[in-house]
Amino acid sequence: MILLCSSSKSRAKLLQVANIPFIQKSCEFDEEQIQTTNPLEFVSLATKGKFTECLKCLGDEIPLLSADTIITDGKQLLRKAKNENDAKRLLSIQSGKKIDIVTYQIIGYQGKIYDNLATTTYYFDKFNEKDTENYIKSGEWVGSAGACKVESFCKKYIKKQIGYTSTAMGLTTEWVEKILNKIY
């Protein structure tokens, strides 16, 4: 059993698919307070902030799992879109380009900390303009880093992938399973 410290539906689904039993609870941490624009620093600070808040309010009698995911084009941090115009802007940056989706995750259990930084790289074809408009109008992008959903909209545009799909979806379940086997 693991305690998923996140309200993310994608992370919950990943754990379900991997048959990892979990309870899902979230504690408040405001990512907007993070001032850095460095992608790796941001994902690290966000994950550590979430983990610290969950540790304070939930303890670590069962393994706590915290994670955050960002997208970068190698130059800039592509965060969650604030509105449809921002989603369009973020997707235009990724269209026809190479992007890295980075997930940092922490498992804490009875005073021990395990962490992992994983990257999945995608090379995308150019996104079709009408397809992009329909995707943006659907609202499916809401809450996703860079407005990117590699399991749906972006999937048909993938020319090449290096790394785990689970990492790109917000949680490297392969790593989580390895750590849980070590703990139990």
Residues in a beta bridge with 107: 65, 114
Per-chain mean pLDDT for the chain: 95
> Helical H runs in 59-172?
84-94, 129-138, 165-169
What pLDDT sits at residue 32? 87
Q: Distance between CA atoms of 29 and 46, rounded to whole angstroms?
A: 8
pLDDT in tens, 23-50: 999 888 988 899 999 999 999 999 999 9
Domain of 45: which CATH number? 3.90.950.10
- Report yes or no on whether pTM surpasses 0.85: yes
Query: Could you tell me the residue range of the domain that residue 137 belongs to?
Result: 2-183
pLDDT, average across residues 92-110: 97
Residues in a beta bridge with 71: 78, 101
Residue type, 6: S
What pLDDT sits at residue 48? 97
What pLDDT sits at residue 26? 87
Q: Distance between CA atoms of 92 and 138, rounded to whole angstroms?
A: 17
User: Which residues are marked as active site?
Assistant: 68
What pLDDT sits at residue 129? 96
pLDDT, average across residues 121-145: 96
Give the burial class of 23: count Cβ atoms within 10 A of its Cβ; 0-12 exposed, 13-18 middle, 19 or more buried.
exposed
Domain count along the chain: 1
Q: What percent of the chain has pLDDT over 90?
A: 93
Whether 121 contacts 154, CB under 8 Å: no
